[in-house]
Amino acid sequence: MKKWVYSLLALLFIGVAFFDTEIMAAQDEIAIRTVVEETYLLSDDYVTPLASLAPRAIVILHNVHAGWAHIEYKGQQGYVPSVTLKSAQPTLMLATAKNPPIVRETTEGQTKHLGNVPIDSIVQAYATNEDNWYFVQYGHLTGYIIATALKAPTSQKMLVQKQEGLVVRNIASKSGANLTSIPTNTKVDVYTNIQGWAYVVTEKNIQGYVLANGLKEIPIPKLGKYSQGTVTKTKRIALTFDDGPHPTVTAQVLKTLEKYDAKATFFVTGHRVNKSPKVLKEIYEAGHEIGNHTWSHPKLTTVSFEQAKAQINETNKTVESIIGQEPTLFRPPYGAYNKEILGSLSVPLIMWSVDTLDWQHRTPSKTLKAVQTGAYNGSIILMHDIHQTTADALDSILSYLTKQGYEFVTVSELITPIK
């Protein structure tokens, strides 16, 4: 491509840039972006090409001004039109090589070594346009790591037990930068434990390394049948929604729950999850609990045991493929089960103590009345997030229960004894 073409490109973007007055403030966090369309890394004159950037190439963004992004790519700094970049979404990966994986400046054989990440540490990994390579971030160290040195981690639910909370750092060391802190009694997902440090992620997506001795395991509910939870001095209640997810009704339910900072449990059916996977992910990412309600909602006592297990297992697999974990509870359709089904479960079987009959009368005022009449400390309320009338009733229900002093928790929280 001739030099005048680059000049024309530069003038075009400078012209457009008068409408773009964004100037990025200096940040402690490293801004990592991905290239969305083929472009060129240009020198300070905005004309001379330094490198060709393919879609999905990963770059470090320094700032944006007048329509131009000042970036770093494989050790070179230059400029690209800001419209060719977008935010890059990382994946948590575990360093599993025999020796601490090398972080490289490029993917070339004789490239500069920038440092190493400790074995069993968690890194933020970004998929690139180059096979078998990840662009990673560990604290302030960034660069390329060969894909075979990383693997997807598993997680464990734990609770912050330190009264003063825990300081979150960007690396597994007291010398790491202090990112923020996590209050006591916060639930976290723990992805690794390395030399006394745990990498944690909270429901609000606070993540980083904390001292592992500040965490404790969350008691696992005893398996069995539950129709109500533990009664405590703090009035707690569990709202449950069956038969979804529904593409529009569930979305409205989620918005109302968020308005009241309420957590709930959704007993989903596999066939609806298959149709609305994004809605299931929204439920999970909002911090609600996912329960299994079979694949197609049959009365399990009228089918063979093998068919009943298939209904449960297929739903488990589908849910796990979307959110990364299986449902933590099971509720049988119509409340119908037998000892054989109960004995085969690896999670608690959950019934209910307040049936709103919302599926039958389809009247918001009657759904509210059922809650007002039946709700008590430790109760599990049954509703369905496939009926618009239920979504319409929810705001009044949450308003009433809030005024009565109730805290809205998931079923697992309700049935777990508090020590």
Tell me the catalytic residues: 242, 384
Query: Token pair for residue 99?
Result: 């020796």
User: 113-116 and 150-151: which strand pairing?
Assistant: unpaired
| CA 270/CA 120 separation, integer angstroms | 35
Q: Is the dihedral of CA 277, 278, 282, 284 positive or negative?
A: positive
Q: Residue 410: which residues within 8 A CB-CB, separation 6 or more?
A: 238, 263, 264, 265, 288, 289
Q: In terms of Cα–Cα distance, which of 45, 159, 29 is closest to 90?
A: 29
**Side-chain half-sphere CA neighbours of 44 within 13 A:** 0
Using the CB atoms, write b or e for 66-81: b if 16+ within 10 Å. ebbbbbebbeeebbbb
Helix (H, G, I), strand (E, B) or coil at 137: strand
Q: In terms of Cα–Cα distance, which of 313, 278, 276, 322 is closest to 295?
A: 313
CB 206 within 8 A of CB 182: yes
Q: In terms of Cα–Cα distance, which of 276, 246, 231 is closest to 383?
A: 246
Q: Is 150 exposed, middle or buried (0-12, 13-18, 19+ CB in 10 A)?
A: buried
Distance set, CA 247 to CA 163, 251, 280, 383 (Å): 41, 7, 9, 17
Query: Token pair for residue 390?
Result: 């239920």
